[in-house]
């Protein structure tokens, strides 16, 4: 029988939200000297509270929020666990508890082996130190000897592609360089348990493919991996188990296909709204998507479309300063998480590009009639500086349904479950020779 790598029993994490108040007055954040002073006077305050029948200096209970509650599971050595769920479900909180960044409010977790984590850009890095120094610092935090770090050093630097800037303080690195180095350190310093949170949401497409390849190597080496991601294709390709978190509780655990299908089927239909769906912006503020929606030929936002009619994907966005390498586009994904296609506004020859200017822009992409199969589709934002960095990389911002109704042939009406096999159902031209 396989050895345990992680055992979790009844883990819960509670946070206080809002301001702590007592008798209507707000409490300020306490400095270390305040904590020491309170500790020194606590016996006298407790004694006074007992005789006065009051509650001492304890503040009134403020509102609380359980980020995780009653979580129990076992992970064995060599398992690759995909942790999925919507934003705020508790995925990152779980990884922070396992990496000992924060303590659980209740329950316990047992980890058998050294833990390496890549939770946020810059976690465990000192901005004033060089890339070289930070590699050794992270190795020391993992409990590795200097000789072990030295053996992996060249491989780390080569993977991160930062040889030229190795002796530069990391505070001068771009976010892409920072992430490449952080992932390389986490993946090459051989921890027995590797915790990775949304690493594939940062960096360009080439770097993401490189990360996936390295994670595949890590998985084959027998190490245990916790992989938090919204990319269902990556979860299905890499993971041997999956966990679905909803509102801090585990609602599904086990078979990857079953768990990811349950998650995707729980995504509500949201086809955009006239005047602006949820807004998305790049980290530097250079691009802000005010609305992305799907419309019919009459400009109506509908939840269901006929496959015999074209569908229009409409972007309404503000651009601070357009550049020649700006790519505005989307992925069209099936409910099982597979990407069917990616389209950018500049896929055609340059003379056919729609004009993009500083300020407000409205761009429309036409999905031709007779292309899509019947079923639900998910649209993900993909806006980048070509081969440099992602500006906006957000999954499943719009969903819509297609009813298969391709045309006049009587055989379309006989299709069971309103769908043909395959991801799409295009109509091709047939001829006899």
Q: Give 225-239 pLDDT, tens digit per residue.
A: 898 887 776 787 788
Question: 260 and 294: one domain?
Answer: no
Q: Which of 211, 240, 265 delimits the end of a domain?
A: 265
Domain CATH for 361: 2.70.50.60
Total number of domains constituting the chain: 2
User: Does residue 37 lie within any of the structural domains?
Assistant: no
Which is it for strands 311-319 and 287-295: parallel, antiparallel or unpaired?
A: antiparallel
What is the spatial distance between Cα 291 and Cα 55, in angstroms, rounded to a whole number? 52
Distances (CA, A) of 239 to 39, 212, 220: 48, 11, 11
User: Does residue 73 lie within any of the structural domains?
Assistant: yes
Q: State the pLDDT at residue 100.
A: 85
> pTM for the whole thing?
0.59
Q: State the pLDDT at residue 336.
A: 61
What is the spatial distance between Cα 147 and Cα 138, in angstroms, rounded to a whole number? 14
Q: Which of 265, 298, 318 delimits the end of a domain?
A: 265
Burial 136-155 (b: 16+ CB within 10 A, else e): bbbbeebebeeeebeebbee
Question: 258 and 284: one domain?
Answer: no
Domain CATH for 84: 3.40.50.300
Q: State the pLDDT at residue 58.
A: 45
- In eight-state DSSP terms, residue 383 is E
Tokens representing residue 320 in the block: 């601070």
User: Does residue 320 lie within any of the structural domains?
Assistant: yes
What is the spatial distance between Cα 57 and Cα 43, in angstroms, rounded to a whole number? 12
Question: 248 and 288: one domain?
Answer: no
Residues paired with residue 64 on neighbouring β-strands, in sequence order? 16
Residue with tokens 């809002």: 18
- In eight-state DSSP terms, residue 418 is G
Domain that holds residue 368: 280-418
Q: Which of 241, 265, 289 delimits the end of a domain?
A: 265
CB of 424 within 8 A of CB of 340?
Answer: yes
Q: State the pLDDT at residue 311.
A: 94
Question: 128 and 191: one domain?
Answer: yes
User: Does residue 285 lie within any of the structural domains?
Assistant: yes
Going along 284-428, which residue ranges are E strands? Answer: 287-295, 304-306, 311-319, 326-333, 339-344, 359-367, 375-385, 389-403
Which segments in the chain show pLDDT lower than 70? 1-2, 18-40, 42-62, 120-124, 142-143, 198-209, 233, 265-278, 335-337, 407-408, 410-419
User: Does residue 26 lie within any of the structural domains?
Assistant: no
Tokens representing residue 351 in the block: 């003379």
CB of 251 within 8 A of CB of 245?
Answer: yes
Question: 327 and 244: one domain?
Answer: no
User: Does residue 348 lie within any of the structural domains?
Assistant: yes
Question: 71 and 114: one domain?
Answer: yes
Question: 301 and 155: one domain?
Answer: no
What is the spatial distance between Cα 35 and Cα 93, in angstroms, rounded to a whole number? 26
CB of 290 within 8 A of CB of 316?
Answer: yes
301-313 tens-digit pLDDT: 877 788 888 999 9
User: Does residue 291 lie within any of the structural domains?
Assistant: yes
CB of 118 within 8 A of CB of 186?
Answer: yes
User: Does residue 248 lie within any of the structural domains?
Assistant: yes
Question: 235 and 366: one domain?
Answer: no
Question: 256 and 156: one domain?
Answer: yes
Question: 244 and 297: one domain?
Answer: no
Tokens representing residue 408 in the block: 């006049």
Q: Which of 379, 430, 416, 412 is nearest to 308 (CA)?
A: 412
Instruction: Give 53's contacts (C-beta < 8 A, 6+ positions apart).
Output: none
Q: What is the DSSP string of 199-228?
A: GGGSS-HHHHHHHHHHHHHHHHTT-EEEEE
Question: 214 and 137: one domain?
Answer: yes
Tokens representing residue 114 in the block: 């050294």
Question: 218 and 290: one domain?
Answer: no
- In eight-state DSSP terms, residue 127 is T
Max CA separation in the chain (angstroms): 104
């Amino acid at each position: 029988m396989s050895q345990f790598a992680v055992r979790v029993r009844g883990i819960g994490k509670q946070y206080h939200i809002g301001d702590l108040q007592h008798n209507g007055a707000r409490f300020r954040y306490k400095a270390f000297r305040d904590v020491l002073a309170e500790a020194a006077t606590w016996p006298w305050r407790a004694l006074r509270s007992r005789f006065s029948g009051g509650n001492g200096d304890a503040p009134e209970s403020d509102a609380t929020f359980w980020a995780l509650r009653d979580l129990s599971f076992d992970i064995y050595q060599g398992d690759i666990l995909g942790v999925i769920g919507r934003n705020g479900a508790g995925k990152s909180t779980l990884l922070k508890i396992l990496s000992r960044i924060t303590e659980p409010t209740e329950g316990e977790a047992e980890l058998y082996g050294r833990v390496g984590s890549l939770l946020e850009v810059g976690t465990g890095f000192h901005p004033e130190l060089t890339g070289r120094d930070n590699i050794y610092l992270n190795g020391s935090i993992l409990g590795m000897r200097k000789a072990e770090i030295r053996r992996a050093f060249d491989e780390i630097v080569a993977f991160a592609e930062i040889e030229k800037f190795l002796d530069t303080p990391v505070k001068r690195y771009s976010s892409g360089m920072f992430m490449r180095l952080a992932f390389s350190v986490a993946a090459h310093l051989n921890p027995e348990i590797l915790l990775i949170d949304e690493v594939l949401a940062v960096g360009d497409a080439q770097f993401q493919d490189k990360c996936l390849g390295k994670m595949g190597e890590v998985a084959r080496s027998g190490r245990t991996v916790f992989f938090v991601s919204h990319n269902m294709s990556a979860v299905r390709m890499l993971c041997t188990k999956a966990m679905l978190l909803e509102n801090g509780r585990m609602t599904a655990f086990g078979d990857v296909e079953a768990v990811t299908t349950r998650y995707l089927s729980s995504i509500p239909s949201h086809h955009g709204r006239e005047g602006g769906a949820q807004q998305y912006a790049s980290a530097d503020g250079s691009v802000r998507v005010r609305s992305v929606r799907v419309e019919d030929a009459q400009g109506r936002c509908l939840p269901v479309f006929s496959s015999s009619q074209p569908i229009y994907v409409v972007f309404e966005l503000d651009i601070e300063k357009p550049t020649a390498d700006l790519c505005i586009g989307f992925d069209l994904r099936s409910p099982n998480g597979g990407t069917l296609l990616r389209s950018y506004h500049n896929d055609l020859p340059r003379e056919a590009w729609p004009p993009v200017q500083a300020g407000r822009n409205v761009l429309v992409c036409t999905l031709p009639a007779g292309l899509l199969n019947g079923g639900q589709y998910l649209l993900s934002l993909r806006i980048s500086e070509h081969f440099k960095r992602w500006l906006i990389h957000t999954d499943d911002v719009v969903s819509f349904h297609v009813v298969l109704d391709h045309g006049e042939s009587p055989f379309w009406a006989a299709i069971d479950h309103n769908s043909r096999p395959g991801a799409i159902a295009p109509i091709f031209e047939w001829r006899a020779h």
